Amino acid sequence: MKVAIVTGAGSGIGRAVARALDKDGYSVVLAGRRADALAETAKGMKPDTLPMPTDVTDPASVSALFAAAVKKFGRVDVVFNNAGTGAPGTINLEDLTIAQWKSVVDTNLSGVFYCIQEAFRVMKAQTPRGGRIINNGSISAHAPRPNSAPYTSTKHAVTGLTKSASLDGRKYDIAVGQIDIGNAGTDMTEKMKSGMPQANGTTAPEPTMDVENVARTVSYMASLPLDANVQFVTVMATKMPYIGRG
């Protein structure tokens, strides 16, 4: 049996990836803040799917998530660190509150670290040893949008965390990689069709791609043997303003 944990599984990218891994034969643990959203994701998935309400900003909640996965399935093979948030893009950098800054850091960076730490503890102790961790970076791990300091900072930091965890996981047969996603079509990206702020001060519509392209990419990353790793991959809408952004 292969077991996967997906955070932010209640909607969008997390939901698509969870369902893709389910189709690949994984028993999937769905982590997210909203129990009702997790239940919706679980519809049509295998009966052993485990919805687990989780707050990734709380280390105790993350510990409970991994403990529940091990209790039910005995091991964890794949973790997709997908939960994330951002501050409103309408607020200038100098007007952000400390609470808004900390909220993004706590979710996007600290939450990923807590999940990686728990994954290490489980994966190094299980038999067969090891596993795979896939972090959701972003195009913002490379280039910012206007008024995105908290989000962009945390996504750059996730890249450093991915590199460190990848190195530190080698001795435990844990492979750590990152997927950087651009303009996947979800409820969160509907606004891109009407217009997004651009670096030159204008607002312009941006192309999106089917979120299933992300799910297929994560599925491929997860399918590799542990002696192979996709360290970094970018999947994006072909015509979105990333190449040449700014």
Tokens 């900072």 locate to 153
Please report the DSSP string for the chain in residue order: --EEEEESTTSHHHHHHHHHHHHTT-EEEEEES-HHHHHHHHTTS-TT-EEEE--TT-HHHHHHHHHHHHHHHS---EEEE-------TTS-GGG--HHHHHHHHIIIIIHHHHHHHHHHHHHTTSSS--EEEEEE--GGGTSPPTT-HHHHHHHHHHHHHHHHHHHHHGGGTEEEEEEEEE-EESGGGGGGGT-EE-TTS-EE----EETHHHHHHHHHHHHS-TT----EEEEE-TTSTTTT--
Catalytic residue (one of 151, 172, 220, 242): 151
Active site residue 151: yes
Active site residues: 151
